[in-house]
A = this chain, B = another copy of it.
Amino acid sequence: MSGNTFGTIFRITTWGESHGSAVGVVVDGCPAGMALAAEDIQKELDRRRPGQSRASTARQEADRVEILSGIFEGQTTGMPISLLVWNKDANSSAYDLLRDKPRPGHADYTYQMKYGLRDHRGGGRASARETVGRVAAGAVAKKLLATEDIEVVAYVTQLGGILAEIASSDLNELRVLAESNAVRCPDPAAAQRMLERLDSVRGEGDSLGGVVVIIAEGVPAGLGEPVFDKLDADLAKGLMSIGAVKAVEIGAGCECAGMRGSEMNDPLLWREGKVDFESNHAGGILGGISTGAPIVCTIAVKPTPSIALAQSTVDLARGEVAEIEIKGRHDPAIPPRIVPVAEAMVALVLADHLLRQRAARL
């Protein structure tokens, strides 16, 4: 009820604070008989890990996952899968000044108001470190989706006002291109300019926002539930629940506001003996249920709120205005590192609805 659980049948519960002992997740409801190894999870955590390039923070985290339960002789048993990653390299004293001075754009003030106290070290549970649990659980979901040939890929399409041109529609090619540079943008030229702008903004002590697109291919028609648990509604919740995301679009998204029905509607047609769609403005979802076309989600990510520039805030203990300069190691832009997190959330939603769908017909 306190909001740390996500999903209905394929259901995860995450826990852990930035500067606590560890972070982790319990994955419940994964079907028995699925091959799963630590490396399946580790490779996704490695994609999430900071400290690899100039696009991300210098903090070193080994982030080795331990599987504590739910696997026997290399297979899932239907029991809850407990995944744990120890916290290391956490310097809590750097956060002492935050105890009474909430950082603008952060959860410091709202946690304090909600609970009357908070673990201020490194942002506590509101830290991006919390996404370790999402990514680890998402790796399990991806394994389940792979058994049905469903694949989820995300990449950066905009950063600091620089737009990528997406030349390919081949998901595998897009992933390879995106993973080949530090900003995870499949347009190499744009990626280069994004990196330069990041350098310049970091030098100014400021930060940039951006846009990430997430695509799922191979999703069969029929996933999603009517009315409230629509597939797009659950995707919107899952993606908006990632820190720093301020908008979620499905298919044509915001653009549909300016379109006419005759443009927006995707005509149905027969292709190779099956129903197909001439276009995909719907983003693969109609009436909240998947159409069989690729699921396309877009998220807008705000600029990193932790900036080195002096900002105005308040001192809650003294009841007065104060100034704050945030010294820690912070990514100057979140989109590159949000890519594996967004993939994880989409995978989790799809895995859950894949299992829910099993109960739809007699």
Contact = CB atoms under 8 A, between A and B. Distances in A.
A225 interface: yes
Contacts of A303: 256, 259-261, 263-264
A62 interface: no
A32 to B, nearest CB: 4
A209 B264 contact: yes
Contacts of A360: 31-32, 78, 114-115
A250 B248 CA distance: 9
Interface string A65-88: 011111010011111111010000
A115 to B, nearest CB: 4
Name the residue in A10, A26, A124 with the highest tally of chain B Cβ atoms < 10 Å from its Cβ: A26
A54 interface: no
B261 A117 contact: no
A10 B360 CA distance: 11
Interface stretch (A44-52, A175-183, A265-273): A265-273
Interface string A295-307: 0000011111111
A326 to B, nearest CB: 10
Interface stretch (A165-173, A185-193, A283-291): A283-291
B236 A105 contact: no
